[in-house]
Chain A
Amino acid sequence: MTRRFTPTVVLKDNDVTDETIYTQRRKLLKQMGFLGTGALLSGGANAFGWFSDDEETAVSAPRPLDFKQNTTWGQDETLTPYEKVTQFNNFYEFGTGKEDPAKNAQNFKVDPWTLSIDGMVENPITLGYEELFSKFALEERIYRLRCVEAWSMVIPWTGFQLSHLLAMAKPLSSAKYVAFETLDSPTQMPGIRNAFVGGGLDYPYIEGLRLDEAAHPLTMMAVGVYGKTLPGQNGAPIRLVVPWKYGFKSIKSIVKITLTDKKPPTTWNQLAKQEYGFYANVNPNVDHPRWSQASERRITRGGLFKQTRIPTQLFNGYSEVAPLYANMDLTKQF
């Protein structure tokens, strides 16, 4: 049933950035920042995320997981390299800059962890850290991730179907929605401590799905990426992955899942209703008020001249979910 970890991409030695070069790059960036901004006496240089002090501290290394591969999706896609998946993140609890979470989540403690499933269920469940990895057989799936900011990645997630967890909890027939909540830890998360770091969002971060969306076989609880446990910035120890919705629906570092009969409030929707709907299905025909959603920039390997802008597909190309929205006007319920 389970099998040793075999990588889904074969990376050759020359694909790996030498660590010394990688750290030099950061150092060089920082020095350039100080020199450049210092010489020009320019104000507000502190706002420049990269140039603030970013001494690297020891990382608790992600450990390999046991899983089987599910080759149903994404086999023909070019994967986004691991270093980009783990260095370019939106996780405002750890800062609003894309490189902030990788920096600020290095010492994020996820063990012990408690994930509770409660509300309208016959069988409330509490999972400890180890159980997140052992309660269900893990599988790897390659999914596209489309951010609401019009960029996308292709990522091999390791985890299990949320439907398995829901089946175990046995939702009551009155349950209609599933609400999710991220850890709320001001001591560990600088963005919660300081509004300027966290963009002034209302924490804890909350998300929600309709029960049939949550139970759809595509919906996944991920505990790993690229065959290893999730780094903090990617939502350790457990996160949601809903590949046909914009990335912000895929809530990270979940501590609580609640079944309910009311449509749950969601963080970005509360901040700007007209910009972020409850459904947030990937849809090229419904623009974000401030930018087009008709196409997206796929982030893979390569510099400025290797950028690819590709058409965005309805439901991010996962047309199997279309029946969930059969009688809905997706331009109104976006």
Chain B
Amino acid sequence: MKKLFNRPVRIPAKQRIVTKTLFHFFAVGYLVWLFYAGINDQLGGDPVEALLNATGIMAINLLLFTLALSPLAQRLPCGDLITYRRMSGIYVFVYALMHFLTYIGFELGFDFSLIGSELLKRPYIMVGFTALIILLLLTITSVNKVRRKMGRKWQTLHNFVYLALGLAILHYTWALKTGWQSPVFYWIGAILLVLSRQRILRLLKINS
């Protein structure tokens, strides 16, 4: 594998703080702005659908970004990129949670019998909900203390992030009325990402 740089690129501590702050600013800011606009009926014809789309798509975008950090860190190489991964991953969960809350709160109007029956009866909702649960577990176990305590099991659990990615894109594909839409590109992106992980490829080869 040809690398872009001969020597590992370092990101100085100061720049790391600045870029992380910017990341927080945009990730939180976009969310706050979305809800502010939605509450004030400034999100087009149906603020609920707009919010569902925006939070859901952003969660998947962020997940792809998070998962791209590790292959990038290897190939550039720039190991410091890994320091952004947890932060970005937690925002995946935050956006997914907001997506879910928007669905049960604004779409279904906190009608708990309807929420219950939709969760149990609708495969695409179940698939999305499963992805959310995986993300929840990953978020809870992302604290350093927990990570240390879990030892090798931590990595096993966190490998499930790839399942979450597949489920999330499946959920998106399934929610639409026709198949020939943007999820096609997301599937391609996800497959490229998996193919870029040497570790996964090695695992697959051993298994086959």
Cα of A43 to Cα of B174 in the assembled complex, Å: 20
Contact A304 B46 (CB under 8 A): no
Contact A291 B118 (CB under 8 A): yes
Q: Which of A65-73, A109-117, A295-303 contacts B (4 or more CB under 8 A)?
A: A295-303
Contact A36 B30 (CB under 8 A): yes
Shortest beta-carbon distance from B15 to chain A in Å: 15
Q: Which of B33-41, B158-166, B198-206 contacts A (4 or more CB under 8 A)?
A: B33-41
Contact A88 B45 (CB under 8 A): yes
Number of A-B contacts (CB under 8 A): 140
Cα of A196 to Cα of B118 in the assembled complex, Å: 29
CB contacts (< 8 Å) of B89 on chain A: these are: none
Contact A195 B180 (CB under 8 A): yes
Cα of A292 to Cα of B108 in the assembled complex, Å: 10
Contact B44 A87 (CB under 8 A): yes
Contact A44 B124 (CB under 8 A): no
The size of the chain A interface, using a CB distance under 8 A, is 52
Those of B20-73 within 8 Å (CB) of chain A: 22-23, 26-27, 29-30, 33, 35, 37-51, 53-54, 57-58, 60-62, 64-65, 68
CB contacts (< 8 Å) of A268 on chain B: these are: 177
Partner of B27, one of A25, A40, A290: A40
Contact A199 B177 (CB under 8 A): yes
CB contacts (< 8 Å) of B11 on chain A: these are: none
Contact A44 B185 (CB under 8 A): yes
Those of B101-124 within 8 Å (CB) of chain A: 106-109, 111, 114, 117-118, 121-124
Contact A40 B39 (CB under 8 A): no
Contact A44 B39 (CB under 8 A): no
A126 at the interface (CB under 8 A from B): no
CB contacts (< 8 Å) of A321 on chain B: these are: none
Shortest beta-carbon distance from A194 to chain B in Å: 10
Contact A47 B114 (CB under 8 A): no
CB contacts (< 8 Å) of A299 on chain B: these are: 45-46
Chain B contact surface mostly: helix
Partner of A201, one of B39, B53, B178: B178
Contact B39 A303 (CB under 8 A): yes
Given contacts A88-B44, A290-B122, contact A297 B65 (CB under 8 A): no
A98 at the interface (CB under 8 A from B): yes
The size of the chain B interface, using a CB distance under 8 A, is 59
Partner of A39, one of B22, B48, B181, B185: B22
CB contacts (< 8 Å) of B124 on chain A: these are: 290
CB contacts (< 8 Å) of A200 on chain B: these are: 178-181
Partner of B26, one of A25, A39, A45, A89: A39
Contact B26 A36 (CB under 8 A): yes
A271 at the interface (CB under 8 A from B): yes
Shortest beta-carbon distance from A233 to chain B in Å: 11
Contact B38 A303 (CB under 8 A): yes
B208 at the interface (CB under 8 A from A): no
Contact A302 B42 (CB under 8 A): no
Contact A302 B106 (CB under 8 A): no
Partner of B186, one of A44, A96, A98: A44
B182 at the interface (CB under 8 A from A): yes
Cα of A40 to Cα of B92 in the assembled complex, Å: 12
- How does the 8 Å CB contact mask read for A274-300 relative to B, with 1 for contact and 0 for none? 000000000000010011101101010
CB contacts (< 8 Å) of B185 on chain A: these are: 44, 47
A273 at the interface (CB under 8 A from B): no
CB contacts (< 8 Å) of A302 on chain B: these are: 41
A35 at the interface (CB under 8 A from B): yes
Contact A295 B114 (CB under 8 A): yes
Shortest beta-carbon distance from B42 to chain A in Å: 5
Given contacts A25-B42, A201-B178, A303-B38, contact A98 B111 (CB under 8 A): no
Shortest beta-carbon distance from A149 to chain B in Å: 8
CB contacts (< 8 Å) of B175 on chain A: these are: 290
- How does the 8 Å CB contact mask read for B116-145 relative to A, with 1 for contact and 0 for none? 011001111000000000000000000000
Shortest beta-carbon distance from A316 to chain B in Å: 18
Cα of A206 to Cα of B39 in the assembled complex, Å: 38
A149-B177, A200-B179 are known contacts; what are 9 more A-B pairs with Cβ within 8 Å?
A42-B65, A98-B44, A151-B46, A199-B180, A295-B111, A301-B41, A304-B38, A304-B51, A307-B107
The 10 closest A-B pairs by CB, nearest first: A88-B45, A200-B180, A47-B182, A42-B61, A199-B178, A303-B41, A309-B109, A84-B45, A36-B30, A303-B39
Question: What are 12 A-B pairs at a CB distance below 8 A?
Answer: A25-B42, A36-B29, A37-B61, A40-B62, A44-B185, A48-B54, A50-B50, A98-B46, A290-B174, A291-B122, A303-B40, A307-B106
